[in-house]
Structure 1
Amino acid sequence: MKKNNSQFINTMLILVGGGLLLFEISTREENVYFLVTGIILLMFGLYRATNFWVYTKDDHKKENENENLQE
């Protein structure tokens, strides 16, 4: 359950950060604070997502080993 919540939070950070950047780029007067906030949210979401992927990259191997041992 924690894995799904973590992925959801990472995805939302990436989407909100990207949305802020796209919105500010498309407006006539760009607010620098929104641009910086969008970049920070986007990069933080990507950082968390890649750490999550590295942490769980071998989970499928462990599950296969457990299934083979039970047989």
Structure 2
Amino acid sequence: LLSVFRCTPVRKAWDASIEGRCVDQVSIWMAGSICNIVTDCLVTCVPMPYLWGLQMGIRGKIALACSLA
């Protein structure tokens, strides 16, 4: 969605002859990548306290943690 609205006016994203300005595409990719990394870390780390509280062996906990990652 950011790739579409990165230019003002929006049509400049497809038509370079239109006057306007655009945000650098690499900056948009970096912002998206950072959001994805943070989300991945949260999804991986949030269930860990519950996982370690389970009544099962350490090997089972590690296997379950790997399957969630």
Q: TM-score, normalised by structure 1?
A: 0.45
Structure ranking higher on relative contact order (CA contacts 8 Å, 6+ apart) = 1
The structure with the largest alpha-carbon Rg is 2
Structure whose residues are more often helix by fraction: 1
Structure whose residues are more often strand by fraction: 2
Q: TM-score, normalised by structure 2?
A: 0.45
